[in-house]
Amino acid sequence: MKILLLGSGGREHAIARALVADPAVDGLVVAPGNPGTARIARNVTVDITDPAAVAGLALAETVDLVVVGPEAPLVAGVADAVRAAGIHVFGPSAAAARLEGSKAFAKEIMAAAGVPTAMARVCTTLDEVRDALESFGAPHVVKDDGLAAGKGVIVTDDFAEALAHADRCLDRPDEPRVVVEDHLDGPEVSLFCLCDGEDVVALAPAQDFKRALDGGQGPNTGGMGAYSPLPWAEPGLTEEVLERVARPVVREMAARGTPFVGVLYCGLALTSRGLRVVEFNVRFGDPETQVVLARLQTPLAGLLDAAARGALATAEEPRWSHGAAVTVVLASEGYPGPVSDGREISGVAEAESLDGVHVIHAGTRMDDDGRLVSAGGRVLCVVGEGDDVPQARERAYRGVGAIHCEGAHHRHDIASGIGD
């Protein structure tokens, strides 16, 4: 099987690593990829948000399957264009990608499908936002309706800050909306559900650490680390999510004529009142993918191809290593604010020579002198694998200790408690 994978982050390097380990894969092209994917596949340049360009590349490369990593190409209709070109694609249509592209749409689907989630109001004016904030009370949760590259959500006790965030989100020409929600307590879990439009197969639950600083302090980020499995989670959690969340959503999307094919990333809160959906994404999570795929024993290409072909019902059940995986993100100085690129990175080979450690590239590039340098907010994800979470954690941090990148920072408490 020859595959084209779209994307350039840590998630895509982790997916590429799992795909090339599948004996059924005899060619992997990554667009645009990063220095990590370049070591195991062939990187090519294309505008991955241009549906016609991606479909053209898939045809020119004669691939059997296209796997879409990030959400932006999906919302832009890349999966539709590839399907129209007669090529199987793992990723939802633009219509189905609205589950991530519009928080208000996701709420509408959850209401129609009877999926448990936070009470919410969709607001288009600041007066409506003010009313909703007063009615739900603190902590205040305000979400930009559209894609916002991880910067669309604020959770704060400060009324003025919540209102100011809503004001920024609403200050746009293109029908801006925000969703104001009741706050959900309890630990959060990410569960990736592979969907083929009808059937659903869940992968292993993981947890990420969203705040920039130890102890769940500092601003929100794309994720500073993750681990899997979750030893504290109820054994029936996955089945409950399938039954109460993923299958009802897939049925609802099919009934609307917009079947969901791809990953339904269920962001969940295990609240004192039971399971609630925090959000849906329509792609694998980053950095949770780095730990989930490190544990997956079943060939990944077979699963993604089955989902793309509508054949999950007969696909191999995912099998998991009995051990654990922990990833720690090394981020550029200043992240999640503005960062300066081009800082030299050393020690990756030393980290990878350690027992149970591998390094996933996220924001890296090779400079003109052939040096590996930083190129973005999250630079590297160091993954430790071990017999259990403490051993995997110890290995991940040993790997982090081997790497140097001036000014880079990381959290010290990944997988040391329930994430935040």
| 209/397 with CB nearer ligand GLY | 209
Shortest reach from residue 208's CB to ligand GLY, in Å: 4
Residue 376 contacts ligand GLY per CB under 6 A: no
| 80/288 with CB nearer ligand GLY | 288
Which of positions 193-212 make contact with ligand GLY (CB under 6 A)?
A: 208
The answer for residues whose C-beta is within 8 angstroms of residue 243's C-beta and 6 or more apart is: none
Which of positions 254-283 make contact with ligand GLY (CB under 6 A)?
A: 281
Burial class (CB in 10 A: 0-12, 13-18, 19+), 319: exposed
Among 285, 299, 384, 419, binds ligand GLY (CB under 6 A): 285
The CA angle 208-409-204, to the nearest 5 degrees, is: 20
Residue 327 contacts ligand GLY per CB under 6 A: no
| 117/281 with CB nearer ligand GLY | 281
How many positions of this chain bind ligand GLY (CB under 6 A)?
7
Q: Determine the Cα–Cα distance for residues 382 and 351; give it in Å rounded to an integer.
A: 8
The secondary structure element, H or E, covering residue 245 is none
Q: Is the separation of the CB atoms in 198 and 96 below 8 Å?
A: no
- Please, what sign has the CA dihedral across residues 219, 16, 295, 382? negative
Q: Determine the Cα–Cα distance for residues 14 and 380; give it in Å rounded to an integer.
A: 11
| 136/260 with CB nearer ligand GLY | 260
Q: Residue 417: left if φ>0, alpha if ψ -120 to 50, beta else—which one? A: beta
Over 248-295, what HEC string results?
HHHHHHHHCCCCCEEEEEEEEEEECCEEEEEEEECCCCCCHHHHHHHH
Among 22, 100, 288, 385, binds ligand GLY (CB under 6 A): 288
The secondary structure element, H or E, covering residue 388 is none
- In 10 A of CB 248, how many CB atoms? 17
| 91/223 with CB nearer ligand GLY | 223
Residue 223 contacts ligand GLY per CB under 6 A: yes
Shortest reach from residue 372's CB to ligand GLY, in Å: 24
Q: Is the separation of the CB atoms in 417 and 187 below 8 Å?
A: no
Shortest reach from residue 17's CB to ligand GLY, in Å: 17
- From the list 22-30, 165-173, 285-293, 402-410, the region that binds ligand GLY by CB under 6 A is 285-293
| 259/285 with CB nearer ligand GLY | 285
Shortest reach from residue 39's CB to ligand GLY, in Å: 23
In the numeric block, which tokens belong to residue 208?
A: 């990420």
| 22/145 with CB nearer ligand GLY | 145
For helices 10-20 and 288-295, angle between their N-to-C axes, nearest 10 degrees: 10
Residue 228 contacts ligand GLY per CB under 6 A: no
Residue 286 contacts ligand GLY per CB under 6 A: yes
Binding residues for ligand GLY, rule: CB under 6 A, are 208, 222-223, 281, 285-286, 288
